Structure 1
Amino acid sequence: MSETEKTILELLPGSGILPDSSADLTVSQDLWQAGMNSLASVRLLVLVEEHFNIEIPDKLLVRSTLASVQALAVAVDDVLQGQR
């Protein structure tokens, strides 16, 4: 598990993005099937952008980017790599 994945997993509990059962979430688990809805996906994006101090580009704002913690972490890492 990457540090980015671990950080995103740590941000989820108590955020209201997923039901309380998110404590058992894995990095590859589908977030939509875990109970995330469109409003929660926006909250997740804002939470991640604020935590990592980044802006995820519009071209990455698609359902597949938010499919799992793993997919979101790839997008975050790509943005962070571009800032270096």
Structure 2
Amino acid sequence: MSAAVRQIVQEHGRLAVDIATLADDASLYEAGMSSHASVNVMLALEDAFDVEFPDDMLKRSVFESVAAISSALQQLEAQAA
């Protein structure tokens, strides 16, 4: 899942650095992702994983890092199962 998240962030996150240089727990916001770009990342994640982020997950901390995004997606997939 982490590789898929990284690919989506690379395509939609508009980072100032190459995502390959970032650890899974590195802050995507510190790497240059704007709030607007995080919305684009969220929409791409919803399309790619066929999920919808509920309102209580629409906060900065959920999209802070590859690890946080992966964790949120795992929670959503567990709820759907």
TM exceeds 0.5?
A: yes
Q: Displacement of 1:24 after TM fit?
A: 1.5
Aligned partner of 2:47: which letter? E
When normalised by structure 1's length, the TM-score is: 0.86
Number of positions where the alignment pairs a residue of Structure 1 with one of Structure 2: 80
**Contact persistence 2:17–2:31 (CA under 8 A):** no
* Paired position in structure 2 for 1:21: 18
**Contact persistence 2:27–2:65 (CA under 8 A):** yes
Q: Structure 1 stretches (4+) deviating beyond 2 angstroms? A: 10-13, 19-23
* Paired position in structure 2 for 1:71: 68
Distance 2:52 2:6 in 1: 19
* Paired position in structure 2 for 1:37: 34
SS in 1 for 2:2: helix
SS in 2 for 1:33: coil
| Structure 1 portions without partners, runs of 5+ | none
Q: Displacement of 1:16 after TM fit?
A: 4.1
List per-residue Cα deviations over 1:5-26 (Å, max 9, x = no partner): 221012233x141235223222
User: Aligned pair 1:47/2:23, yes or no?
Assistant: no
**Contact persistence 2:17–2:32 (CA under 8 A):** no
Distance 1:27 1:6 in 2: 10
List per-residue Cα deviations over 1:55-79 (Å, max 9, x = no partner): 0111011111011010111111100
Distance 1:25 1:49 in 2: 23
| Structure 2 portions without partners, runs of 5+ | none
- CA gap 1:56/1:35 in 2 versus in 1, 3 angstroms: same
